[in-house]
Copies of this chain bind each other. A is one copy, B any other.
Amino acid sequence: MSWKFDSVNPIFKQIVDELIIRIIKGDYKKGEKLASVRDLAVEAGVNPNTMQRALAEIELTGLVETKRGDGRYITEDSDIISKFKSEYTNKNAVQFLEKMKEFGFTKEEIIEYLEKIDI
């Protein structure tokens, strides 16, 4: 897996977002053990401290759990994952709709617009 970072957002935050997406998408299975901080840092090409901070941050979401002196694991609780997924997608959709409405589009126009996009 590859890591690319833009230069406007904090790296540690980009790592958090990327990890969340990977978990939600199922790239990381529930209960799976993560690589060590040092290894992940090497893989992502960042300082171990930066990776450490990202991992500490994602811990707050409940998606990842730490076992002291052992390692980090994706949560076994699939409820948390699915809840997180629906929250995340819903937030995206609502934000998008609100932004577009602010520009004067109706929902019908927005949907019509999306259908035209070739992606």
Q: Residues on A close to B: CB < 8 A?
A: 7, 10-11, 21, 24-25, 65-66, 68, 85, 88-90, 92-94, 96-105, 107, 110-111, 113-115, 117, 119
| Closest Cβ–Cβ distance, residue A66 to chain B (whole Å) | 7
Instruction: State whether A94 touches B119 (Cβ < 8 A).
Output: yes
Give the number of copies in the complex. 4
Instruction: State whether A89 touches B105 (Cβ < 8 A).
Output: yes
Instruction: State whether B101 touches A113 (Cβ < 8 A).
Output: no
Instruction: State whether B111 touches A89 (Cβ < 8 A).
Output: no
B24, B25, B94, B111: the one contacting A111 at CB < 8 Å is B111
Known: A21-B103, A89-B100, A92-B100. 18 other contacts (CB 8 A): A7-B65, A7-B68, A11-B68, A21-B102, A24-B103, A88-B103, A90-B117, A92-B99, A93-B113, A94-B117, A96-B96, A97-B114, A98-B119, A101-B119, A107-B114, A107-B115, A111-B114, A111-B115
